[in-house]
Amino acid sequence: MKYAFFPGCLSPSRIPSYELATRKIAEKLGIELVDLEGANCCGYYLMALDHLSALALGIRDLSLAESLGLDILTICTGCFSTLRETNDIFRENKEERAKLNKLMKNIGKEYKGKVEVKHLAKVLLEDIGLDKIRESIVRPLEGLKVAIHPGCHLVRPSDHLHFGNPEDPGVLRDLIKVTGAEVIEYPDEMACCGYVIYGVDREASLKIAGEKLRAIKSSDADVIITFCGFCTLMFDRNQPIIEKFLSEKYDIPVLLYPQLLGLALGLGPEELGIDENRVKPNMVLEMLKEGA
């Protein structure tokens, strides 16, 4: 299977391990990722300031993928949500489509609306399938207890994303269970990590994240698994800041889903960029050594 790869802005600049782990598991599962050369921001950061310009950025990216005859695979939940919404607006709103076509013509581009936008999780579930993943597992992560954090933009808004239940991410639990790990439920599983308001109200953001970390800590989970780079920044990179601000100690490691899957596929921690994690998943690594 072949896709135009759109990692987004966050992964290359702040969490390169997400892209690294994705490329590694793609090789294992027979997914060919074609770099989308010349791509720009999806428009997420501009959406609230200049809606038309934000849409134009997304349509330009979609046009690049369409010129390759490929659907887009992204690992950024923000890009997934934004590009899906942009695609829907282009296809369904004649007035907006006319404006966007004019802008594209001005830069020598054209988009006909043929591209589908998929998050890595959607590709794994719907295109690869749990059976193929299960057959590829060589190191089941049995005994590992994980708390899932889907993030806000992977299943919501459901009218654009059409991916699972926006109130109950059962499809995402299935992706974790196929690795052999046990999913531990906890209160407010679907609650936001707080990152979305970090730049506006840092204190409130840290409190929101602290509430969630506190709930996960009480659940007896060994590790947090997330599909979102922004949530990884909040729970992993900012965890020491949250601990200091709230005078609490969590010490909960965070893995991105392709890192978890990569371990189950037999890849080493260094191949998946796990050494970049701020909160070291020592228990996970020790468990792997014992099972070797």
**pLDDT in the model for residue 284:** 87
What is the Cβ-side half-sphere exposure of residue 87, based on CA atoms within 13 angstroms? 23
- The mean pLDDT of 235-239, rounded to a whole number, is 96
Mean pLDDT of the chain: 93
**pLDDT in the model for residue 291:** 63
Instruction: Answer whether residue 1 shows pLDDT above 60.
Output: yes
pLDDT in tens, 177-187: 999 999 999 98
- The mean pLDDT of 254-271, rounded to a whole number, is 97
pLDDT in tens, 112-129: 999 999 999 999 999 999
Instruction: Answer whether residue 272 shows pLDDT above 90.
Output: yes
**pLDDT in the model for residue 158:** 64
The DSSP bridge pattern shows strands 117-119 and 72-74 to be parallel
- The mean pLDDT of 18-26, rounded to a whole number, is 98
**Nearest residue to 228 via CA among 24, 74, 115:** 74
- The mean pLDDT of 258-277, rounded to a whole number, is 96
**pLDDT in the model for residue 286:** 85
pTM, two decimals, is: 0.95
**pLDDT in the model for residue 212:** 96
More confident residue, 171 or 70: 70
- The mean pLDDT of 197-204, rounded to a whole number, is 94
- The mean pLDDT of 165-184, rounded to a whole number, is 87
Q: How confident is the model at residue 154 (pLDDT cuts 50, 70, 90)?
A: confident
More confident residue, 291 or 259: 259
**pLDDT in the model for residue 134:** 97
Q: Where are the beta strands (DSSP E) in 2-143?
A: 2-6, 32-35, 72-74, 117-119
First to last CA, the chain: 31
pLDDT in tens, 209-233: 999 999 999 999 999 999 999 999 9
Q: Per 3-state DSSP, what percentage of the chain is helix, strand, and coil (rounded to 5)?
A: 55, 10, 35
Instruction: Answer whether residue 161 shows pLDDT above 70.
Output: no
Q: How confident is the model at residue 285 (pLDDT cuts 50, 70, 90)?
A: confident
Domains of the chain and CATH, by start: 2-120 (1.20.1050.140), 130-291 (3.40.50.11810)
**pLDDT in the model for residue 58:** 98
- The mean pLDDT of 254-268, rounded to a whole number, is 97
Whole-angstrom distance, CA of residue 104 vs CA of residue 59 = 8
DSSP state of 233: I
- The mean pLDDT of 20-46, rounded to a whole number, is 96
Q: How confident is the model at residue 135 (pLDDT cuts 50, 70, 90)?
A: very high
**pLDDT in the model for residue 82:** 95
Whole-angstrom distance, CA of residue 16 vs CA of residue 10 = 8
**pLDDT in the model for residue 270:** 95
